[in-house]
Chain A
Amino acid sequence: MTTPMVKFENVTKRYGALTVLDSLNLEIAPDEKVAIIGPSGSGKTTVLRMLMTLERINDGIIYVDGEPLTHMPKNGRLVPADERYLRRVRGKIGMVFQHFNLFPHMSALRNCMEAPIHVLGLSRQEAEQRAAELLDMVGLSDKKHQYPSQLSGGQQQRVAIARALAMRPKVMLFDEVTSALDPELVGEVLNVIRKLGKEHNLTMLMVTHQMGFAKEFADRVCFFYGGQIVESGRPEEIFSAPKEERTRQFLSAVLEAS
């Protein structure tokens, strides 16, 4: 078996007395598409935020592409990673947020050029070319010079996807990327993600409430409950024949609502 692209090893996250994730073990293969579902407060978003190093973990180790992410080797032992080490390894990961988090003082194009120029050290021409190609890919080549406040939510989220891709990550994280959108704008964003899955060799990890999309798009679905993976498997298994009672309850509640 090949080395997993992402590997959580006994990862625990606590906020004070509250344990959000309890000794999580999860391996994700290169190019695999994993959907994470579960009720709010089940710790699913925390998984992505830890992988993006937005949250520190309390216990365990996360590996990315065979390298430790949260820790670094030093004198033959693993010690918590420092900022310099983090910045080297974290470049393999990109993230798209629920609330887009575009930079409001920069045009769509500039949003996609900023980090390639200042972090990757690309020349302005290279960065602009790459940004233009990506904006074209997400169907926004005519909105290049617009500012985020002039774009619809769906357009903003597509810029955010292009911005993350401009860093050439190996792993893409999608954190409820359609939850803040008006219903009629959800489709355009999901289409971009579909296209991404087909055309790029990307490992994708998404937290989503779009059960239909998860079923059609993901290679694997993980159901989170109470800080643990209760059940995981191929989407058709999970959605049509869940083994666990809690999965069944959650799915019937979600499907009833929609």
Chain B
Amino acid sequence: MQLRQLAVCAIVFFTAGLAVASFAGFREFIPGLLEGAWVTVQITLGGCLLAVVMALVAAMAKMYGPLPLRWLAVAYIEVFRGTSALVQLFWLFFVLPHFGVNLGPMTVAIAALGLNVGAYGAEVVRGAVNAVPRGQWEASVALNMSRPLALRRIILPQAFVAMIPPWGNLFIELLKATALVSLITISDLAFKAQQMNQTTFRTVEIFTIVLIVYLAISVLITVGTRTLETFAARGIARGR
């Protein structure tokens, strides 16, 4: 239902946008926007990958790690959830060089967004793992499995299904947060939008199209996670 509404929305806005753009000689700014969109997609993909890795590592460390590691994980999760993504981005971009760490803007962008969303993801992972019934752990003990084995083969595969919808939302949050990287000189979609706006003054068309492109990528993410969810659910409970 929601998906259909989204799709209908996307089509309506897209045709409306195209109509506006074609009247206005969109050749001026479309290529630039497409370049920016490609950068946005790259940062989104890189950020999502880092976020998933960080979330798994931090959640495992927080739940099963030895004490110092557990504290480290808690600190990571609280700091990155407690401060803004933009502050984190600026901190990595402006402050790290003072400590002699010079990362390229792209690296900073992917690191900041991946770490930020990873902190939220860690709580998603933790929630999903805790939601697996206790009996599954007990059965693993009764079969003499070690804890890492039980986690890897029994618990995480079951938690995985419960994690997919919240991860879909987090990926969309990450996509939206990529717009921030325009503020540290990366020419992503948001940056190109402002640049094209300053050179062509086609304000209405440019920002409308940019919103539609973000919406389209969001819809892609939603469709992707829904598909994954269907497949994963089929794997865990055939014939249910």
Contact = CB atoms under 8 A, between A and B. Distances in A.
Interface of A: 52-54, 83, 87, 90-91, 93-95, 97, 99, 101-105, 114-115, 118-119, 146-147, 149-150, 163-164, 167
B173 interface: no
Q: Is the interface of B mostly helix, strand, loop or mixed?
A: helix
A149 B144 contact: no
A83 B146 CA distance: 8
Given A87-B146, A105-B237, A147-B237, 7 more contacts: A83-B146, A97-B142, A103-B136, A104-B158, A118-B149, A119-B149, A146-B239
A141 to B, nearest CB: 19
21 contacts: A87-B146, A93-B142, A97-B135, A97-B142, A99-B135, A101-B133, A101-B139, A102-B139, A103-B136, A103-B139, A104-B236, A105-B157, A114-B143, A118-B145, A118-B153, A119-B146, A146-B239, A147-B238, A149-B238, A150-B240, A164-B142
Nearest to B232: A105
B138 A97 contact: yes
B160 to A, nearest CB: 9
Interface size class on chain B is: 20 to 34
B236 A115 contact: no
Nearest to A53: B141
A163 B138 contact: no
Interface of B: 133, 135-136, 138-139, 141-147, 149, 153-154, 157-158, 235-240
A101 B239 CA distance: 19
B144 A90 contact: yes
Contacts of B154: 103, 114
Contact of B142 (A83, A95, A99, A114): A95
Contacts of A119: 143-146, 149
Given A114-B153, A147-B239, A150-B238, A101 B138 contact: yes
Contacts of A114: 143, 153-154
A106 B222 CA distance: 28
